[in-house]
């Protein structure tokens, strides 16, 4: 059975923390490919200002271009409406009925998974890779065991990624303050932001 990674995120902007996470997950879980899925309208960010979908999509394409195991999907952009992960995973399940699907995202996002649309069904459809930075309180994720039950909880895998010390919000803050962002994200993405 082939294993596929679906890398969900707002990617505002994409940075080396995301890229290292995807590559580490690919290696650790034997994923054949990692498909990046920029969220069009993240449901929990209604009313918050985020960069244009098209810009976030293009930056994701630029950032992933040099890795043959990485792809970018427009599924959430083309679908429109709130970017519910359940609908995205149904899309990939129908395209890859035999695949062992892994949804990769930040541990902080996974912490809220019980509030996601149809989350019990999500657990039937895929496993989760929760990327955390070193020093992240693992107890926080452990707290999900009681809420989700053992079977679902075992489908959440933690992946510690030192490069996740980099964050999109810190990059946005630095850009706004005119501070350098070199070496935090690919040069192509930095150039795109400057332009």
Residues that bind ligand NAP (CB under 6 A): 7-10, 17-18, 21, 39, 42-45, 83-85, 104-106, 108-109, 116-117, 131, 164, 167-169
Give yes or no for a contact between 25 and 104, defined as CB atoms under 8 angstroms apart. Answer: yes
To ligand NAP, the closest distance from the beta carbon of 27 in angstroms equals 15
Return the number of the residue (94 or 98) whose C-beta is nearest ligand NAP.
Answer: 94
Count Cβ atoms within 10 A of the Cβ of residue 135 and give its class: 0-12 exposed, 13-18 middle, 19 or more buried.
exposed
- Of all residues in the shown chain, the one whose CB is closest to ligand NAP is 106
To ligand NAP, the closest distance from the beta carbon of 147 in angstroms equals 16
Residue with tokens 């490919």: 33
Return the number of the residue (1 or 148) whose C-beta is nearest ligand NAP.
Answer: 148
Long-range contacts of 110-115 (CB under 8 A, 24+ apart): 110/141, 110/144, 110/156, 111/140, 111/141, 111/144, 112/44, 113/144, 113/148, 114/144, 114/147, 114/148, 115/44
Return the number of the residue (98 or 128) whose C-beta is nearest ligand NAP.
Answer: 128
Return the number of the residue (56 or 99) whose C-beta is nearest ligand NAP.
Answer: 56
CA-CA distance, 190 to 185, in Å (whole number)?
7
Return the number of the residue (94 or 169) whose C-beta is nearest ligand NAP.
Answer: 169
To ligand NAP, the closest distance from the beta carbon of 115 in angstroms equals 7
To ligand NAP, the closest distance from the beta carbon of 14 in angstroms equals 8
To ligand NAP, the closest distance from the beta carbon of 47 in angstroms equals 13
């Amino acid at each position: 059975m082939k294993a596929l990674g679906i890398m969900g995120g707002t990617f505002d902007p994409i940075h080396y923390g995301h890229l290292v996470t995807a590559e580490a997950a690919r290696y650790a879980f034997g994923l054949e490919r990692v498909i990046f899925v920029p969220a069009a309208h993240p449901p929990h960010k209604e009313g918050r200002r985020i960069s244009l979908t098209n810009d976030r999509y293009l930056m994701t394409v630029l950032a992933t271009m040099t890795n043959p195991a990485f792809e970018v999907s427009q599924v959430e952009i083309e679908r429109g409406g709130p970017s519910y992960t359940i609908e995205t995973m149904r899309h990939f399940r129908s395209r890859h009925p035999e695949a062992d699907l892994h949804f990769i995202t930040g541990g902080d996002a996974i912490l809220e998974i019980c509030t996601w649309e149809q989350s019990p069904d999500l657990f039937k459809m895929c496993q989760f890779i929760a990327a955390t930075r070193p020093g992240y309180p693992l107890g926080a994720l452990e707290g999900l065991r009681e809420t989700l039950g053992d079977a679902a909880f075992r489908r959440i895998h933690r992946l510690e990624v030192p490069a996740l010390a980099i964050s999109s919000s810190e990059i946005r803050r630095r850009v706004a303050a005119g501070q350098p962002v070199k070496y935090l994200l690919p040069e192509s993405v930095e150039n795109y932001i400057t332009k």
